[in-house]
Structure 1
Amino acid sequence: MTASGDLLVDAFGRIRETVHEVVDGLSPDELAVRLDDGANSIAWLVWHLTRIQDDHIAEAAGLDEVWIAQDWSARFELPFPRRATGYGHSP
């Protein structure tokens, strides 16, 4: 792997580890918390982060997004279009 590839793998690995550490043990009510009236919930922020990663990595690798290919959008039943990543959403 190239140095830039190693850097990206490390960065995405750190993000994954950190997100797991932050949300581990949080209740559904805690995940729904908005730290400010203009802020999105913790759950929404994690969803948005993972959707953006899925979208960008899939495009760079020439692959289908996991969210679409494995039909995660149907499993989550979110009130967004199937290909939504959270851009333009407001709390």
Structure 2
Amino acid sequence: MNTAELLADAYGRIQEAVHEAVDDLSAEELSWRPDEGGNSVAWLVWHLTRVQDDHVADVAGREQLWTADGWRDRFGLPFRPSVIGYGQSAAQAAKVRVDDPALLTGYYDAVHEATLGYVAGLADGDLDVIVDERWDPPVTLGVRLLSVVNDDLQHAGQAAYVRGLLLRRR
């Protein structure tokens, strides 16, 4: 297994988890929160997708699909284009409402395909390239891509947990 295959497998696991968390939920269920401070499946999946879109677009040197492919307009959320959900209050997170689960999975799938297209061209040595000098130590491409995998899998797991709580209420 090479670098590209390993990363494709990791990102593929995120895609599976996203679909498992979202599939067959209604708009109301997607927006359900365990309490006023909790996150909904919709927010968790939107946020993890925004993080992946933002971070991978940055290292790939391309515009985010959020704006380039019109996903921002389709979602119609009251946030600036650069918002990815990081640091949002519970009230802001509650504004992420989705009428159709296919909107969430469609955006994720588009970001996933763009991510796979990017990682397919990577070689082992590419992972050592510094992509962010704002940190000490500076962040390499490998660390950035793995941090996205880590963050996304955690949020996908949270979405699965919220889905489980929700389904117990049915």
Superposed CA RMSD: 1.4
1:56 and 2:55 equivalent? Answer: yes
Alignment length (residue pairs) = 90
The Cα shift of 1:67 comes to 0.6
Task: Tell me how far apart the structure 1 counterparts of residues 80 and 74 of structure 2 sit (CA, whole Å).
Answer: 13
Task: Tell me how far apart the structure 2 counterparts of residues 3 and 66 of structure 1 sit (CA, whole Å).
Answer: 27
Amino acid corresponding to residue 36 of structure 1 in structure 2: D
> For the Cα contact (< 8 Å) 2:50–2:66, is it kept in 1?
yes
Between 12-21 and 33-42, the greater mean CA deviation after superposition: 33-42
| Per-residue deviation, residues 5-63 of structure 1 (Å, max 9, x unmatched) | 32221111110111101210001111111123321211011000000000111111111
Give the number of the structure whose residues are more often helix, by fraction: 2
Between 23-32 and 34-43, the greater mean CA deviation after superposition: 34-43
Q: What TM-score do the two structures reach when normalised by structure 1?
A: 0.88
Q: What TM-score do the two structures reach when normalised by structure 2?
A: 0.50
Task: Tell me how far apart the structure 2 counterparts of residues 53 and 71 of structure 1 sit (CA, whole Å).
Answer: 16
Task: Tell me how far apart the structure 1 counterparts of residues 4 and 58 of structure 2 sit (CA, whole Å).
Answer: 15
Unaligned runs of 5+ in 1: none
| Greater Cα radius of gyration, structure 1 or 2 | 2
Amino acid corresponding to residue 46 of structure 1 in structure 2: V
Unaligned runs of 5+ in 2: 91-170
Amino acid corresponding to residue 80 of structure 1 in structure 2: F
Deviating above 4 A after TM superposition, structure 1's stretches of 4 or more consecutive aligned residues are: none
Which structure's relative contact order is higher, taking Cα pairs within 8 Å and 6+ residues apart?
Answer: 2
> For the Cα contact (< 8 Å) 1:40–1:90, is it kept in 2?
no
State the percentage of identical aligned residues. Answer: 56
